[in-house]
Chains A and B, each alone.
Chain A
Amino acid sequence: GESVGLHLPTLSVQEGDNSIINCAYSNSASDYFIWYKQESGKGPQFIIDIRSNMDKRQGQRVTVLLNKTVKHLSLQIAATQPGDSAVYFCADFTGANSKLTFGKGITLSVRP
């Protein structure tokens, strides 16, 4: 079946370094892809999304890259801060049936 999955369960980075979180997807029909951040006990928080017809999108300190050839999505966080520590999910969205599917979460831990 269709799935969205992350390559690694945890990622530990030094404060100030750049973080890269990777995700693989299988649904070629997705309209766009989204990265969410979830802190303990809270709802997923939208970070950034990218439409399926784009290959890069930049936000504040974050960049999402989409490689449709290998069905790969990545989230880059520049100058990682302690407040970035959370679980990150990639998700794919298909508008025709309002389907939002989450991948496996990856925990980002920032070392001071």
Chain B
Amino acid sequence: AAGVIQSPRHLIKEKRETATLKCYPIPRHDTVYWYQQGPGQDPQFLISFYEKMQSDKGSIPDRFSAQQFSDYHSELNMSSLELGDSALYFCASSSRVTDTEAFFGQGTRLTVV
């Protein structure tokens, strides 16, 4: 079965650079979530989208922005990167229509140097 696809899997950026993370949800899923997980930390909710509209917002820095496109894929844009942004970034998708649970991708490991 198709799963949530995230790209890239690994990304190394320098401080103050910009990064874009992509998430392709499971087909026919209408909701996408983004989470940040630091080393040894719990996943922290950043933001979610339902039908291309922002659904909920968590602890997402102002330097970050995200959107969900017409094909339901989502991108997380991160600017003015800081060392503390180094983390695993997970995307999950679910379907509000069919009321499914959220399935996670394998994550993008971002390292800021």
Contacts and interface: CB of A to CB of B under 8 A. Distances in A.
- State whether these chains interact: yes
The range of chain B's interface size is: 20 to 34
Interface residues of A, number: 22
B24 interface: no
B110 to A, nearest CB: 13
Contact of B90 (A43, A93, A98, A104): A43
A66 interface: no
Contact of A102 (B31, B43, B109): B43
B62 interface: no
Interface string B1-33: 000100000000000000000000000000101
Interface of B: 4, 31, 33, 35, 42-45, 48, 50, 55-56, 88, 90, 92, 94, 96, 99, 101-107, 109
Interface of A: 32, 34, 36, 41-46, 49, 89, 93, 95, 97-105
